[in-house]
Structure formats: C-alpha cells, structure tokens
Structure 1
Amino acid sequence: MSEHSGSCFCGAVQFTVSGEPAAMGYCHCESCRHWSAGPVNAFSLWKPEALKVTKGADNIGTYNKTPVSFRKWCKTCGGHVFSDHPPMGLVDVYAAVLPSLKFQPAVHVNYAEKVLSVKDGLPKMKDFPAEMGGSGVTLPD
C-alpha cells in the first residue's frame, strides 16, 4: 500500500493519504477556479478513511459555499489542503500538496465551465461522470 505525505504552505497542517486515489483529474468549475485562484484545479479523490491529519488538526479552517464541498485550509498561512465532498463520499486532496504522488489525470470535469481549453486527449465531461451523479456527457477537446 502506498502512502503520501502532504502539508499546507507553512507546514502547520500535515497529513498523509494511504492506498490509491479513487480518481485523479482536473476540475474547471467556477468554484474550484475561484478557490484555487487558477484557471483549473488538479484533484486527487480519496476515500475519507485514507486521509489522516498528523499535525495541526485544530488549525484547519472550513468553508462550505454549497453542501457539495467543504473546503479546508490552514488558519496560519491560508494554504489550501483538501475538500470534503459528502455527496460523493470522497475527499479531494489537492494534487499539488502531495509531492510524492505520481499525478495521472484521467478526466476533466465541469469542462462546460472552462476558461482555459486543454488539448491533452483526456475525456472532457460537461459536468461529472454519470456514476458520480453527473450527466455523463462528454464535450469535444
């Protein structure tokens, strides 16, 4: 079983994930773009039990604009660390905060909301795959 360590920007919050992610890819939704301050967000989705906060649990802030995502950050540096997604039963540990994870994206989600076109040959979902509660509709590259 593999294990990866991550932290916030200043290191006050540290955590591990173990096993393999359920999915990896890119999200183009407006919420992720605003949260990440970038045109696209790289995600790695894990079962909640795979995530263990090893330092600074009391230093994690939470904000939920919608019941779909509970976004987590370090109260000291503001560094984003992960988001709980209760309807999916998964937690998104941002790929950028897991330096040892070999990021292997398989899909783009919420591509209908994109502000940056990406020509990488990966499937571009209008919203989410059907098995994750989306329409399952793919869009052209």
Structure 2
Amino acid sequence: MTAPHTGGCRCGAVRFEASAEPHHVSYCHCGDCRRASGAPVSAFVGFLTDQVAFTGKALKMYENGPVTRSFCGICGSPIAYVDERLEDHIYFTLGAMDMPAYFKPTHHAHVREQLPFLHMPDDLPRHLKTSAPRPSSSNPDGTQS
C-alpha cells in the first residue's frame, strides 16, 4: 500500500488523509496514553504535519503540558496527538486509521510503565522511555534538564 493513507473517527465527522508514508509506527505503554485511549497499550502512526489534511468540523483538542490530543467532539473517538517538543510531527492512533493492518509497529515505548499482566511476545526493540527523542528543555539558569 502506498499513500495516501486515510482515517477518521467512529461517526465520520472527522476525517484525515496523509499524503506520504509514515516515519514512525510504535506501541506506547505510558500511563498518559492508557488514560487517553482506555486501552492497556496504544499504537501510533507518525507523519509530518505538512503531509496531513483534515476534513470535518468536529475535531476537538485537549492540552496536557506539551502534548495536545485530538478527538471527535461528537463521538469522542481519539484521533491523534502532537507534542510541542516534536515540531512538525503528528501521531495518529492506529485505531483511527482506515487500514490499521498496514501499519505494523516497529518498537515499544515506555516499557517501564507496561502493565505486568500484558504480554506481547514479539522481538521488537523496547525503549524504557520514549521512542521519539525529545529535545531537553533549558532551566532558567541555562542548564539542560
């Protein structure tokens, strides 16, 4: 399969299309993604934001620190997230993609937060923290955190 890649919410009020191949497909085991999705693990498909177009008028946003998650304001389906530390990137939930089977995750992120009863017996690389490195921020005194 080649681009464009499409997806949307359950009710169809939010649709999106990516005009290129993804740069990132991964599982995330962090608690924030668990709470946002309601699932024990999430999977995301990452694109550059200038490769994505949205249609519909129901897209809503929720900001939590540097992360903004989007969802459908009608049916509540989670759609994507952006992280201000990852400029020009957007990560769609795998479940929002029209052809989710096409996007096979290539690694696991935040495995130190993986639920102990969740067993995923694959040979994919596992990262204790993020799989998409974020630049560290400067403290007021100019040091890096």
TM-score grouping bracket, smaller chain normalisation: 0.7 to 0.9
Q: Determine the structure 2 residue equivalent to 1:75.
A: 73
Gaps of 5+ in 1: 135-141
Amino acid at match of 2:63: N
TM-score (norm 2): 0.83
Per-residue deviation, residues 17-68 of structure 1 (Å, max 9, x unmatched) = 1201111010000000011101100101111111100222xx211112221x
Normalized per residue, which structure has more helix?
1
Q: Determine the structure 2 residue equivalent to 1:107.
A: 107
Q: How far did residue 100 of structure 1 move?
A: 2.3
Runs of 4+ aligned residues of structure 1 deviating over 3 Å after TM superposition are none
Q: Determine the structure 2 residue equivalent to 1:126.
A: 128
Q: Determine the structure 1 residue equivalent to 2:65.
A: 66
Aligned residues: 130
- Secondary structure of 1:34's counterpart equals helix
Q: Determine the structure 2 residue equivalent to 1:9.
A: 10
Q: Determine the structure 2 residue equivalent to 1:137.
A: none
Per-residue deviation, residues 82-136 of structure 1 (Å, max 9, x unmatched) = 111221121111111112251121110001001123221101100024x6138xx
TM-score (norm 1): 0.85
Amino acid at match of 1:72: S
Q: Which protein shows a greater Rg?
A: 2
Gaps of 5+ in 2: 136-145
- Give the Cα–Cα distance (whole angstroms) in 1 for the partners of residues 36 and 119 of structure 2: 19
